[in-house]
Amino acid sequence: MQVVIVEQPGDVASFAASRISDVVARVAASGKRAVLGVATGSSPLGTYRALAELVSRGHLDTTGVSAFALDEYVGLDYAHPESYHSVVTRTVTEPLALDPRRVHVPDGLADDLPAACSRYEEQIRAAGGIDVQLLGIGANGHIGFNEPTSSLNSRTRLKTLAKRTRDDNARFFDSPDQVPIHCLTQGLATILDARQALLVAQGVGKAEAIAAAVEGPVSAMCPASVLQLHSHATVVVDEAAASRLRLRDYYSYVLTNLPSGDR
Ligand code: GLP
């Protein structure tokens, strides 16, 4: 796992956007179209803004690029501003000029939710798999909506949200009881299938979760720790989110001494 500690919270976004943009360009150069994995929450918003800027300046061509969201609430109308269908349209599809037909979000309104989850896995496979998966992290270490004790081998499925996650996400709703209790989420094994994983976090509120994810044991108690099993995972954090990491100096040393060709 590569750990990148940047000075300012805004640098997290520029690092992640440039990494994603490089992937899109590299995949395009090989004659294919990139498949992005996109996260909701506030952490990746700066990255989407930085990517939108690259698109509007003509530095990033998203023609043919497709995207898969990590998760969705169950039972929340797609038109609701906090459904992840709406959030992804507003923060990703439109600003990055993606073709809406190529942007996928799990179907939290399906009559048969398990079937919708299997279909989602199939759609990811049919698209050729995810080239780069952008991730935020919950204060309890969740990624997507894989709450603590989620199976490290899980696939897209129906889950119950932890109380802490509902409380954390209540700020987006008029009242806490409006936060849905159930969700569909890509599983941890689904996330591990992405060819590259890029986790972004800012602020001291994420420091403990980041330390557990990067330096703790691989454990279902901290679902993000599963990224330690990924062969190409990068964690990009500002100083505050890095503040509980024990090997901070080592991560900076490694970054300034990368083997040539490994940047
Ligand atoms: C939500 C999302 C996660 C996200 C997490 C953190 O629960 N399902 O994908 O990483 O929140 O959110 P934030 O970035 O707003 O702290």
Q: Is residue 11 part of a domain?
A: yes
Q: Calculate what percentage of the chain has a pLDDT beyond 70.
A: 99
Nearest atom of ligand 1 to the alpha carbon of 84: 8
Tell me the helix, strand and coil percentages in the chain, rounded to 5: 40, 15, 45
Distance, CA 263 to ligand 1 centroid (Å)?
28
Q: Is residue 262 part of a domain?
A: no
Arithmetic mean of pLDDT, 178-196: 97
Tell how far the Cα of 249 is from the centroid of ligand 1, in angstroms. Answer: 28
The confidence score (pLDDT) of residue 261 equals 59
For residue 234, give the nearest of 104, 153, 150, 132 by alpha carbon.
132
pLDDT-derived band at 263 (thresholds 50, 70, 90) equals low
**Sheet strand arrangement including 103-104:** 2-6, 233-238, 197-201, 132-135, 35-38, 66-69, 103-104
pLDDT (tens digit, 9 = 90+) per residue, 197-214?
999 999 999 999 999 999
What's the domain count of the chain?
A: 1
Q: Would the pLDDT of 175 be above 60? A: yes
Q: What is the pLDDT of residues 142-152, one digit of tens each?
A: 999 999 999 99
Q: Which amino acid is at 8?
A: Q
Pocket test for ligand 1, best of 38, 85, 168, 206 (most atoms within 8 A of CB): 168
263 in any annotated domain? no
> Among the atoms of ligand 1, which is closest to the Cα of residue 39?
9
Domain that holds residue 90: 2-257
Rounded to an integer, the average pLDDT of 204-233 is: 98
pLDDT of residue 165: 87
Q: Is residue 134 domain-resident?
A: yes
The reply to whether ligand 1 has any atom less than 6 angstroms from the CB of 43 is yes
**CATH number for 47:** 3.40.50.1360
Residue 119 falls inside a structural domain: yes
Residue-averaged pLDDT of the chain: 96
Per-residue pLDDT reduced to its tens digit, 235-257: 999 999 999 999 999 999 999 99
Pairing relationship of beta strands 71-73 and 157-160 according to DSSP bridges: unpaired
Say if ligand 1 is within 6 A of residue 145 CB.
yes
Assess whether pLDDT exceeds 90 at residue 260: no
Is the residue at 41 inside a domain? yes
